[in-house]
Amino acid sequence: MSALKGARLLVTGGTGSFGNRFIDRLLADNEVAEVIVYSRDELKQFELHNELKSSKVRFVLGDVRDYARIQQASQGIDLIIHAAAMKQIPAAENNPMEAIKTNVLGAENVVRAAIENKVSKVVALSSDKAANPANLYGATKLCSDKLMIAGNFMQEESPTKFSVVRYGNVLGSRGSVIPFFLEKAKEGRIPITDIRMTRFWLTLDHAVNLVMTAIKTMSGGEIYVPRIPSFKVTDVARVVAPNIPTFEIGIRPGEKLHEIMITEDDSPYTIRFDDHYRIVSPLIFDKYSESKHVVNAGFSYRSDTNDQWFTDESFFKLLKQSSIL
């Protein structure tokens, strides 16, 4: 990608599942000048350093909560991928201020540091939990999304562009339900919170591709949402652990029956592309250069009314291709 040729990138939360796969892609393309992995886990940094063994990758210990540190780390940077977050829903519910400090105040620190250091582009990772949030994690990610989009308008004639990539459940990521199902299958039964539950599903490579698309096409002020298939959670259990019975335990606090990535309120500013949607800030929508395919009024993008669905065969094939099974 020409947008990355000779660029210096900072990846916050770079030792996570997405960061690992994204950095692999950057090194494979061999266009970037340097990648800085910014995270607070020294063990994961040590392990990733030993795995990559690349002179293009530099590791910086730090927390996005620490403005001085993120400001220092982003000096001379062309592009920031903000992937650092506190993601576990129960942990966020039980430690609300910790989630707010990382997900909201940390996002504010990234915005401020990027503007101060005249970073060219910032792409922040979001979650389907951020649309109509039902738990604190989703609420903090919604705040983070709002902060990132507002970053485009916080300073007149700022050279920094901010956009967001929002996606659903990632197959094979840390905390994925699939390893949980496989472990429970050994006990002879798999717990399901609600047999009606549906989710959006994508691979890490798909997530990386969407971030690459955002880097290449962003004007600043967009939320990128992939057009991906849905699948019932009971069907996931059946595919990954066939012939293992399931039992229903009830929805947990803060958990949704179905996920949503685009609300009806966003429909006037949502544009459809072949493989994704873009929710464009109302402040730039009238001037947006790619606004020819606006969705119908009242459109929403939900996992239960999605027009794309996995079959058992297609889901199993994707798991095999991703080396998850």
Give the whole-angstrom CA distance, residue 323 versus residue 325. Answer: 6
Residue 1: is its pLDDT beyond 70?
Answer: no
Q: Report the half-sphere exposure of 322 (CA within 13 A, side-chain side).
A: 20
The residue with tokens 């939320």 is: 223
Is the overall model pTM greater than 0.85, yes or no? Answer: yes
Give the whole-angstrom CA distance, residue 107 versus residue 140. Answer: 10
Tell me which residue range forms the domain holding 137: 2-167+202-227+262-302
Q: Is-contact 182 242, C-beta < 8 A?
A: no
Give the whole-angstrom CA distance, residue 94 versus residue 142. Answer: 19
Instruction: Report the share of the chain in percent with pLDDT over 90.
Output: 87
In a domain, 239, yes or no: no
pLDDT in tens, 200-238: 999 999 999 999 999 999 999 999 999 999 999 999 999
The residue with tokens 């620190």 is: 109
Across the chain, mean pLDDT equals: 94
pLDDT in tens, 276-294: 999 999 999 998 888 789 9
Cβ neighbours for 208, distance < 8 A, ≥ 6 positions apart: 18, 21, 22, 25
Domain count across the chain: 1
In a domain, 286, yes or no: yes
Check residues 9 and 177 and name the one with the higher pLDDT: 9
pLDDT in tens, 289-312: 887 899 999 999 999 999 999 999
In a domain, 155, yes or no: yes
Q: Which of 129, 161, 184, 256 is catalytic?
A: 129
pLDDT in tens, 119-166: 999 999 999 999 999 999 999 999 999 999 999 999 877 899 999 999
User: CATH number, domain at 54?
Assistant: 3.40.50.720
Q: Fill in the amino acid letter for 14.
A: G
Residue 129 catalytic?
yes
In a domain, 161, yes or no: yes
pLDDT at 253: 84
Rounded mean pLDDT, 244-265: 94
pLDDT at 5: 94
| Backbone phi, psi, residue 134, to 5° | -115, 0
In a domain, 79, yes or no: yes
In a domain, 58, yes or no: yes
